[in-house]
Each structure stands twice: as structure tokens, then as C-alpha cells.
């Protein structure tokens, strides 16, 4: 038998929000129906419940629903209580795993094919596609040959990618992963998925103006910070349940993305939404990577923490990710201050003996060295620095350029950035190190 997985995701890996698809693409549904028709479909309980009632069970297919609940009733479907159970039900037939996030992650090791629809949208999500290990999976087909299709609904762009097992004879690794180097560097959420996703990675996310700089200052002051996606309506409720304060906009006073406002706040727990840095951190944390908030302010502490982790676990890789910005139309905008911040961390890694870096990481380091004798001046001149200064936040620009002012590494554990001192980071394992 052959087990096949099929899903639709954004370039960031979002596959769902609130038990629903965050888009409607009829062309994707048509292809989904064409590929799965006549074959058993295996789905998790939540995916079953998310199907529009008129499509439950999916017609023309044996429906298998997975749940731990032995008493669960799914009219028209077979209920299985373990993946092995479900695989026994489908027997030697070709079967499709159709969702959701939990089942994809579990079923991936049994699969021979993965059909992915990439939906070109930036969407908040709470469920993610598993990251395909490039050592095992290789792209075998894609459609269209170049560029994108455009959907009849709102012109949303989408494309189809088929993955199969990489043949033994072709052990190549995608060059975009910057393997085999211990220190790698690429931009934004897409770059983070390439160089920093997965449980064998430390992802140092760098958003100098100002998310990770604010996290650095907060953690150095003993404040715990929970990153949230921008405009995520759940942030306020989460803050309340967690006895934390929700950061507001810069102009209203109180704690905000402005580092000074957080340091002065005297609070102990902060929920901090941000458009780029927080979203990148959360997206990458969902892949199992250890996420650290890097900035010019904490470059040395972050590098020392990473070096200590690498000393105990030589298989770990450090992916340094300048987060970048978005243009108003949503297009990605690399921002030079994040390149400098990434370079400051990479240079500090070099000082602490972690020298095996890709040329991309070296380019970031050189960019930093070019401004290292006057980071304040450089940051003031940068587009983002001028934008912030013109809005009246020139102090934040100066604070962001204060090299190694903060002596702890903010490490994301269970949804919160907490300051870690580098000593004992290795001994303590992931998320380890002494609390500052």
C-alpha cells in the first residue's frame, strides 16, 4: 500500500485557524477531490468535525476518522483509535491522509508521497504543516511550470508541489539549507524555514527595530515576554489568563514595542504582539526549533548561550534569521538593521569559537563589521531608523544600537521568552541555562 499526505499551506506553513481553512480556493478543492476520489481518506477527529456537513462523509471514499475517544461516533465513517488501527483498516490500498496538523506529523514517516498546495497568502494560523526533511523528501513535480495559478476567488495565487522520497542514489541536500555549515543565515519567515526550522536547530531571530530588541531589554530586566502575531485577537484573553500585561501601541503610553517603555514598566510578564519578529519566532518554534531573540543589545550573550548548547550537542545548527519588514502591499522587505544585528550575533559566535559559517552568514558578519565602530550612526541613517525617529522614537533607535548592553539570552520556552545566562546552558539542555 501507499500512504499519501495532502494539504494546503501558506508559504509560512499555516494550514489552519480555529479548525477551519483560512481561505477558499475552489481549484484546490477540485484537485483534492480528484486525487482522493476512489481511495480511503484518513483524517483526525478535528478535521472530520471541520468538514461542511454536506460533505460528511466525503463521498466516493471510505472515510476513516482517528480519535483517542473509543466511544466517538462518526456517522458514515470508520473510527480508528490509533494510526496503526487506521493503517490496518486501509490495508494494502492507496490511502490519503487529509489532515490535520497532528495527524500529518504522525503519518509523515509512513508516507511515500506528499501533495502540497502553496497558497500565496500571509495569514494568522494556529495549525502548521510539518517541515519536510530535505534529506528524505525531494520535489518530484510542480504545477504550473513557472510562477503561480490565480484563483477565481479574489485572484489568490496558488501552486501545487508533489514530494516523493529522495532516491538513495541522490543523497543531495538542498543548497538553500546552507548545509553543512554550523552557522547559517537567511531572511524572514521563508528563510527561517530553510535554515532554522526543525528540532536540530537553534533559530536566532533578529528584529532590531524593534521586537527582539524589546525582548532583549525586557528579559534583561527579568520580564518574561510572550510573542503574539500582530492583530491576533486572542492576545488580550491570553494576557488576562496568564496574569500578564498586553503591550499597546507606542503612542498611548504604557508598555509597547518600545524597549524603554517595557524596562520602565515594572511589570513581570508581558504579551507582546509584533508584525514580523513575533510571527517569525512563533512560526519557527512550531517546527521544534529552539528560538532565541537576538539583537545588537544582546549579541554576545546570545552567542555564548548558543556556543554552550553546541558544545554539548554538536549536531545542533544555528540559523540566524534577520526578520525583515513588510511593504504595505505585504511584499517582503529586507531591512539592513536586521542584517547588522544578525552579523553582530555571527561575529560574537566567531569570538566564542563557532566559526563554521556559510558565505551568507559571513556576508551578514561583514555587513556588521562595516558599521561596528558607529552602530548608532548607521542605525540612525537606515530607512527604518529614520522612519522611527520621524515618528518621535529616536531614543529607541539609539537604544537598539547599544552593543551588548543586555547580558542574557532570551530563550522561548512554552510560549515565553525568558532570560538565560549562558553558563550552564549546555548542561541544562534545550531551554536551559540559569534564569537571569
Coil, strand or helix: which one is 281?
helix
35 vs 89, which CB is nearer to ligand VY7?
Answer: 35
For position 29 contacting ligand VY7 by CB under 6 A, the verdict is yes
Report d(CA 102, CA 305) in Å as an integer: 31
What is the DSSP track for 286-340? TTTPEEEEE-STTHHHHHHHHHHHHHH-TT-EEEEEE--EE-TTS-EE--HHHHH
Least distance (Å) between residue 16 CB and ligand VY7: 9
Q: How far is the CB of 35 from ligand VY7 (least distance, A)?
A: 8
The answer to whether 182 and 315 have CB atoms below 8 angstroms apart is no
Options 3, 14, 21, 354; binder of ligand VY7; rule CB under 6 A: 21
Spatial separation of the C-alpha atoms in residues 9 and 115, rounded to whole Å: 11
Q: How far is the CB of 23 from ligand VY7 (least distance, A)?
A: 10
Residues within window 39-68 making contact with ligand VY7, judged by CB under 6 A? 51-52, 55, 58-59
Establish if 279 lies at the interface with ligand VY7 (CB under 6 A). no
What residue is closest to ligand VY7 based on CB? Answer: 33
**Residue number with CB closer to ligand VY7 (59 or 353):** 59
- Annotate 343-381 with three-state secondary structure: HHHHHHHHHCCCCCECHHHHHHHHHHHHHCCCHHHHHHH
Q: According to DSSP H, which parts of 6-71 are helical?
A: 26-36, 45-50
Q: Which stretch binds ligand VY7 (CB under 6 A): 6-14, 65-73, 175-183, 396-404?
A: 6-14
CB of 15 to ligand VY7, least distance (A): 8
3-state secondary structure of 36: helix
272: CB partners within 8 A, 6+ apart = 211, 214, 215, 218, 225, 226, 227, 228, 247, 257, 262, 278
Q: Report how many helices (DSSP H) and strands (DSSP E) the chain contains, helices first.
A: 16, 23
For the record, the C-alpha cell of 223 comes out as 520580564
Residue 28 in contact with ligand VY7, rule: CB under 6 A: yes
- Distance, CA of 299 to CA of 233 (rounded, Å): 32
Binding segment (CB under 6 A) for ligand VY7, from list 28-36, 347-355, 375-383, 402-410 = 28-36
Q: Give the span between the Cα atoms of 159 and 8, in whole angstroms.
A: 10
Stretch in the footprint of ligand VY7 (CB under 6 A) among 5-13, 149-157, 173-181, 217-225: 5-13
* Calpha distance 258→217 (Å, rounded): 10
- Find the shortest distance in angstroms from Cβ 52 to ligand VY7: 5
Which one, 158 or 417, has the nearer CB to ligand VY7? 158
Residue from 10, 63, 113, 117 that binds ligand VY7 (CB under 6 A)? 117
Q: Which of 16, 57, 99, 343 binds ligand VY7 (CB under 6 A)?
A: 99
First and final C-alpha spacing in the chain: 53
Single residue of 4, 7, 128, 207 touching ligand VY7 by CB under 6 A: 7
Please say which residue, 59 or 237, places its beta carbon nearer to ligand VY7: 59
Judged by CB under 6 A, the chain residues 132 through 151 that form the site for ligand VY7 are none
* Residue ranges binding ligand VY7 (CB under 6 A): 6-8, 21, 28-29, 32-33, 51-52, 55, 58-59, 98-99, 117
Amino acid at each position: 500500500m501507499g500512504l499519501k499526505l495532502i494539504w494546503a499551506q501558506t508559504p509560512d506553513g499555516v494550514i489552519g485557524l480555529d479548525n477551519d481553512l483560512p481561505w477558499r480556493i475552489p481549484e484546490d478543492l477540485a484537485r483534492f477531490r480528484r486525487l482522493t476520489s476512489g481511495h480511503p481518506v484518513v483524517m483526525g477527529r478535528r478535521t472530520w468535525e471541520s468538514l461542511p456537513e454536506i460533505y460528511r462523509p466525503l463521498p466516493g471514499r471510505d472515510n476513516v476518522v482517528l480519535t483517542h475517544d473509543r466511544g466517538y461516533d462518526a456517522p458514515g465513517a470508520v473510527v480508528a483509535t490509533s494510526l496503526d488501527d487506521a493503517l490496518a483498516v486501509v490495508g494494502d490500498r492507496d490511502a490519503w491522509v487529509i489532515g490535520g496538523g497532528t495527524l500529518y506529523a504522525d503519518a509523515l514517516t509512513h508516507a511515500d508521497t506528499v501533495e502540497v498546495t502553496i497558497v500565496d497568502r500571509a495569514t494568522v494560523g494556529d495549525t502548521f504543516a510539518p517541515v519536510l526533511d530535505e534529506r528524505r523528501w525531494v520535489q518530484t513535480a510542480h504545477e504550473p511550470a513557472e510562477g503561480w495559478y490565480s484563483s477565481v476567488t479574489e485572484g489568490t495565487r496558488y501552486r501545487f508541489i508533489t514530494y516523493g522520497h529522495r532516491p538513495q542514489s541522490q543523497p543531495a541536500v538542498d543548497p538553500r539549507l546552507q548545509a553543512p555549515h554550523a552557522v547559517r543565515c537567511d531572511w524572514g519567515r521563508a528563510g527561517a524555514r530553510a535554515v532554522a526550522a526543525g528540532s536540530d536547530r537553534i533559530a536566532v531571530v533578529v528584529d532590531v527595530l524593534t521586537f527582539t530588541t524589546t525582548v532583549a531589554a525586557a528579559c534583561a530586566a527579568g520580564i518574561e515576554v510572550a510573542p503574539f502575531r500582530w492583530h491576533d485577537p486572542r492576545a488580550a484573553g491570553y494576557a488576562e489568563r496568564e496574569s500578564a500585561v498586553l503591550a499597546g501601541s507606542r503612542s498611548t503610553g504604557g508598555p509597547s514595542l518600545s524597549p524603554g517603555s517595557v524596562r520602565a514598566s515594572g511589570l513581570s510578564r508581558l504579551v507582546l504582539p509584533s508584525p514580523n519578529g513575533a510571527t517569525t519566532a512563533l512560526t519557527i518554534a512550531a517546527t521544534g526549533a529552539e528560538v532565541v531573540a537576538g539583537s545588537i543589545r544582546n549579541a554576545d550573550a546570545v552567542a555564548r548561550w548558543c556556543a554552550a548548547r553546541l558544545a554539548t550537542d554538536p549536531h545542533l545548527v544555528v540559523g540566524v534569521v534577520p526578520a525583515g519588514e513588510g511593504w504595505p502591499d505585504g511584499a517582503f522587505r529586507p531591512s539592513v538593521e536586521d542584517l547588522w544585528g544578525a552579523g553582530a550575533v555571527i561575529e560574537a559566535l566567531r569570538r566564542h569559537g563557532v566559526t563554521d559559517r556559510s558565505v551568507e552568514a559571513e556576508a551578514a558578519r561583514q555587513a556588521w563589521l562595516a558599521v561596528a565602530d558607529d552602530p548608532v550612526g548607521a542605525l540612525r541613517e537606515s530607512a527604518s531608523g529614520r522612519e522611527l525617529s520621524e515618528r518621535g522614537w529616536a531614543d529607541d533607535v539609539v537604544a537598539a544600537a547599544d552593543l551588548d548592553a543586555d547580558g542574557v539570552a532570551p530563550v522561548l520556552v512554552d510560549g515565553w521568552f525568558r532570560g538565560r545566562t549562558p553558563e550552564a546552558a549546555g548542561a541544562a539542555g534545550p531551554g536551559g541555562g540559569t534564569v537571569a
